[in-house]
Amino acid sequence: MYVVSRGGITSFDVGSDNRLTNQKRFSDFMVDGVRCATDGFRVDVDGNLWCGSNAGAHLGYSGVTVWTPEAKLIGRIRLPESGANLAFGGPKRNRLFMAAASSLYALYVNTQGASPG
């Protein structure tokens, strides 16, 4: 389970009794010294975390960042405006919808969003 806070994202293990354990900071979302604050995020079938990225005045860093379960940055989708929420959709859950400051973007990706169940 992931929880967004002002300083980044914290991850937890969820036990069979639904208790949260093993709290640890996932990431502070710094990329090349630029803070890429996240708003919305989704997980794919491999456990990678896809995050809407808002880097403020550093527009080259805004869009989407993709992180492994170990918090290693493995990809970025650059948008010409700040990224916010995102979602996987389509019949195969392989189309990424990205809501930005004033636009909606969509892109087919080579993975699927995790099943909602």
The string of pLDDT tens digits covering residues 5-17 is: 555 677 788 888 9
Amino acid identity of residue 31, one-letter, is V
Nearest Cα residue to 61 out of 87, 86, 29, 25: 29
Which residues are CB-neighbours of 34 under 8 A, at least 6 positions away? 55, 58, 61
The string of pLDDT tens digits covering residues 29-67 is: 888 988 888 878 899 999 999 998 888 888 788 899 999
pTM: 0.82
In this prediction, residue 4 has a pLDDT band, given cuts at 50, 70 and 90, of low
- What domains are defined for the chain? 32-108 (2.40.10)
Query: How far is the CA of 51 from the CAs of 16, 17, 24, 88, 91, in angstroms?
Result: 27, 28, 18, 12, 21
Output the pLDDT for position 5. 53
Cβ(71)–Cβ(26) below 8 Å: yes
Q: What is the mean pLDDT of the chain?
A: 87
